[in-house]
Amino acid sequence: MGRSRAIKYVVSAKCSPATAALTQMEWRVTRDGNIPGDGKPTEANLAKWVAGYNASFQTGGVNQHAGPLTIVSAKIVRQADYRIMAEYVVPMFQVV
């Protein structure tokens, strides 16, 4: 049988245009098999994750089929007590 485990941290993100929605994803602190970890749930690591995810929406990225999207806010939430560990909000005047 497979292994089951509780997810410790979850990433929630909102996109622009607002009609697009992203499903909550697991924030992996350490490597899990072949999947690299994202590091500790800090605001700097979250900003780096958002930049990488936004790049995947550009032409040639793995999510280019989803259209021209941009993540405008994101947060990492600890599942045990729903404490927000890190938040990211796009700068007011970001050039895309």
Check residue 18 and give its pLDDT: 81
**Which ranges of the chain would DSSP assign to H, the alpha helix?**
43-56
Phi and psi at 43, nearest 5°, equal -65, -35
pLDDT in tens, 31-41: 988 989 999 99
Which pLDDT score, from 0 to 100, does residue 94 have? 60
In this prediction, residue 80 carries a pLDDT of 94
Judged against a pLDDT cut of 70, whether residue 68 lies above it is answered with: yes
Write the Ramachandran bin of 19: left for phi over 0, alpha for psi from -120 to 50, otherwise beta. alpha
Percent of the chain having pLDDT more than 70? 95
The Cβ-side half-sphere exposure at 46, using a 13 Å CA radius, reads 25
Question: Rounded to two decimals, what is the model's pTM?
Answer: 0.86
Residue 46 has pLDDT above 70, yes or no: yes
Q: What is the C-alpha radius of gyration for the chain, rounded to an integer number of angstroms?
A: 14
Domain-wise residue ranges, the chain:
9-89
Contact 70, 17 (CB under 8 A): no
